Amino acid sequence: MSSFVTSCDDTHTTDSNNFKIIDIINDVNMISNESDVSVINSNEPIDGFDMHNYYIVKIMYDGYDSIETAKVYFGDSDIYDKARYTWITDTSISLTLFHSISDKYSTFRVSGRMDGSGSGTSWD
């Protein structure tokens, strides 16, 4: 079962299709403000979010006149340790969360608005 909630380690590799692969981190203190995409795994309770395992995806992009940030919360019973992404527009990415030693994965899009007023998700 998967669900989304939206709200307004810089180490990576790039594969042959210009996708970047990053580690999913487990400590919110490890989020880098230098990275354009971060994915955090957490099981801390969130009011109104009925998942005990979820991922926080944060993207940073150039807005109209400043750097904007969009965050989405993705709940899933599967555990992932890597994320693969590519920018598909100035404000959105195609993202696959996956486990490096199994065949489990989930692919979706994360997007923000140029004025920073919101964020969203859709299935790829």
**42 vs 53: CA distance, rounded Å:** 6
Question: What is the domain partition of the chain in residue ranges?
Answer: 2-123
Query: Residue 6 above 50 pLDDT?
Result: no
- The pLDDT, as a whole number, for residue 14 is 52
Query: Residue 77 above 70 pLDDT?
Result: yes
Q: Which residues contact 58 (CB under 8 A, 6 or more apart)?
A: 31, 37, 38, 39, 40, 69, 70, 71
- The pLDDT, as a whole number, for residue 4 is 44
Q: What is the pLDDT of residues 10-65, one digit of tens each?
A: 344 555 568 999 999 988 777 777 789 999 998 877 777 777 789 999 999 999 99
